[in-house]
Amino acid sequence: MTTTTPAATTELETVAELAAQLRVDSIRSSTSAGSGHPTSSMSAADLMAVLVARHLRYDWDDPSSPANDHLIFSKGHASPLLYSVFRAVGVVSEEELLTGYRRFAQRLEGHPTPVLPWVDVATGSLGQGLPDGVGVALAGKYLDRRPYRVWVLCGDSELSEGSMWEALDKASYYQLANLVALVDVNRLGQRGETEFGWNLDAYARRAESFGARVIAIDGHDLTAIDNALTTAAEDTGDRPTVILAKTIKGRGFSEIEDRNGWHGKPLPEDLADRAIAGLGGVRDLVLRGPRPDPESATTTAEPVTGDGARPHYGVGEKVATRKAYGDALVALGARDPRVVALDGEVNNSTYAGEFAHAYPERYFEMFIAEQQLIAAATGLNVRGYRAFASTFAAFLTRAYDFIRMGSISRVDLRLVGSHAGVEIGADGPSQMGLEDLAMLRAVHGSTVLYPSDATSAVALVDAMATTAGISYLRTTRGAYPVLYPDGETFPVGGAKVLRDGDDVTLAGAGVTVHECLRAADLLAQQGIRARVIDCYSIKPIDTATLTAAVTATGGRIVVAEDHHPEGGLGSAIADALVAAGQAPLSLTRLAVTGMPGSGTSAELLAWAGIDADHIAEAARDLLG
């Protein structure tokens, strides 16, 4: 039986057939793979059948159409259901579903990723799809200004993640009536019952208190689902909608329905056969739901304000790199209407506030919710915006899982962390980014930048605008002299030789570049000529410049960094030199090895042993 039904007219009787097919295909795909989550798929099959057949406005032949609704599986483990939907709309074949799911070098991965053109973001770390959806919905309402809707299928278990409440909070704060969360309340988590089981009232009270319109339904009653989705699609004007659907895990096969112990387990073949037979056997229904109004895909040119001239600073002028970030972002925003900015309630510290002032319509305050900060940037990127997300470097650690997932989502995230290292001084260790370089370097495909002055900071912000993947700019709290004149270029992957000398190499980044320069002065007084290198690009690192310097200086190099010793600049340099087979090599690494307290910048740089005196001393020790 093959049926192709025109948009929006599919009867619920056919939808019921579709739901049965989605269940059968969820079972078939996971059993064929020998792994996967059929029961978590079966509970949500009715929700997805009604949504896809009658409400999701999507042109399956043009997944990149800006008019399309968005469908995000926040419960990414229900991938058998999602892929079964893809088969039902005719974009994935039965063969692919049965031989490609969870297999090596195939695109139907265990959890969905944007390797598939109909998937916006990677999910599978729970509690991220809804926050990402907030970002897409922000784009729809405030930037695209198009009527598309963002539908997010959520699990009940993931409502225990705080990030889900950050998402609902921001969805109501920003009045995202275009966002609908469908919660599949199937009562059972991985290892047992959830905190609330089928207590929909408990979830409803919470979601309502966070500003959502709540609709509670029987998630297996197609008419109820259809009515709920119709209501959800009606614009509330100011509130997101949360549909709480009471469902049964494993629904459709009585031997596993609502039973603990069946999470993440494919049915053995004999059970699968019985289940499929009971569900009416294999179907080959192909049907599509409504398509978006093509009018809604038209683009209006964005007005651009300001002249876009890059800020200039005089050499020797004292300017904080965080200030240069703000200046550069304002200039970039004038040149590129797709640049947007977000911040975690510290925009007067990170200087994202300059952008907020210049382009209030392209700035989103995320308040103190770093996970949602990164998720919103992810969602905005899905819609093609170049989002810069800033907070203190230390607080980006709050969102590491979101950054990691961003790399799997293949989005371009532009992250800016201010107040790096002990340099910040009096505020103490809780505010000091001392793990951020290690954290960001370890992300797949990331770019890690750390300017020492305002001129290079501006150039690197410009570079980030066109850098693919996760890029990170580390900025410094204090104001330090501008080192580079206008027009100097700073390619990603490069380094600058600031002083020439053949006795010893001194390498730093950010604040320690200034300490290296002072150390070179101290050494010069003793007749020692140091070569000073500004490693503004930490990943990729400039192996050629470093090996040339180290070779010229007899293998002697001192690296100083305002970061813990593991995984930062020193590791990047050691990795590069060892990989290059550098010999001889006498590398001294200075980093923050103790637990800092408060103090002035100078006191703490000295205490950590990364100031000019210590660098000079280390250089003298190398020279013996």
Interface with a second copy includes 492 (CB under 8 A)? no
Nearest approach, Cβ of residue 25 and a second copy (Å): 18
- Rounded CA separation 172/157 (Å): 22
Q: What is d(CA 470, CA 441) in angstroms, rounded to the nearest whole number? A: 10
Nearer to a second copy, 211 or 290 (CB): 211
Judged by CB under 8 A, the stretch of 191-199, 215-223, 286-294, 314-322 that binds a second copy is: 191-199
Q: Is 430 in the site for a second copy (CB under 8 A)?
A: yes
Spatial contact of 612 and 548, defined as CB atoms under 8 Å apart: no
The answer to whether 306 contacts a second copy (rule: CB under 8 A) is no
Q: Applying CB under 8 A, does 624 fall inside the site for a second copy?
A: no
Beta-bridge partner residues of 152: 72, 181
What is the C-alpha to C-alpha distance for residues 547 and 524, in angstroms, rounded to an integer?
A: 22
For the segment 149-168, give every residue that binds a second copy (CB under 8 A). 157-158, 160-166
Q: Which residues pair with 182 in a beta bridge?
A: 153, 243
172 membership: H or E segment, kind and range = helix 162-173
Q: How far is the CB of 321 from a second copy (least distance, A)?
A: 19
Q: Which is nearer to a second copy, 36 or 508 (CB)?
A: 36
CB burial readout 406-427, b (16+ within 10 A) else e: bbbbbbbbbbbbbbbbbbbbee
Q: Does 475 bind a second copy (CB under 8 A)?
A: no
Residue 363: phi, psi to the nearest 5? -120, 135
194 binding a second copy? (CB under 8 A): yes
Is the Cβ of residue 416 or residue 604 nearer to a second copy in the bound state?
604
Site for a second copy in 98-127 (CB under 8 A): 102-111, 113, 115, 122-127
Q: Does 429 bind a second copy (CB under 8 A)?
A: yes
3-state secondary structure 440-452: HHCCCCCEEECCC
Count of Cβ atoms closer than 10 Å to residue 355 Cβ: 29
Q: 617: helix, coil or strand?
A: helix
How many other C-beta atoms lie within 10 A of the C-beta of residue 478? 17
CB 482 within 8 A of CB 313: yes
Both tokens assigned to 45: 């099959």
Task: Give the number of other Cβ atoms within 10 Å of residue 235's Cβ.
Answer: 12
Q: Which amino acid is at 495?
A: A
Min dist CB 462 to a second copy, Å, is: 25
User: Which residues from 518-547 bind a second copy, rule CB under 8 A?
Assistant: 539
Q: How far is the CB of 226 from a second copy (least distance, A)?
A: 28
Tell me, by CB under 8 A, how many residues bind a second copy: 113
Per-residue binding string, a second copy, 435-464, x by CB under 8 A, is x--xx-xxxxx-------------------
Q: In the range 56-95, which residues lie near a second copy by CB under 8 A?
A: 76
175 touches a second copy by CB under 8 A: no
> What angle do the packed helices 601-608 and 511-525 form, to 10 degrees?
70
Q: How far is the CB of 444 from a second copy (least distance, A)?
A: 6
Q: Of the listed pieces 4-12, 237-245, 324-332, 392-400, which binds a second copy according to CB under 8 A?
A: 392-400
CB of 363 to a second copy, least distance (A): 12
For this structure, is 295 an active site residue?
Answer: no
Question: At closest approach, how far in Å is the CB of 429 from a second copy?
Answer: 5
Encoded amino acid at 164, one letter: M
Catalytic residue among 161, 370, 515, 561: 370
Residue 319 CB, nearest approach to a second copy (Å):
21
- The C-alpha atoms of residue 615 and residue 514 are separated, in whole angstroms, by 11
Which residue is it, tokens 């709480």?
A: 244
Pick 229 or 411: Cβ nearer a second copy: 411
Binding a second copy by CB under 8 A: which of 4, 64, 191, 525? 191
Residues 341-380 that bind a second copy (CB under 8 A): 345-349, 353, 367-372
Residues of span 29-58 touching a second copy by CB under 8 A: 33-36
How far apart, in whole angstroms, are the C-alpha atoms of residue 73 and residue 120?
Answer: 9
Q: Is 408 among the residues that bind a second copy (CB under 8 A)?
A: yes
Compute the distance between CA of residue 476 and CA of residue 417 in angstroms, rounded to an integer: 9
Q: Which residues are catalytic?
A: 370
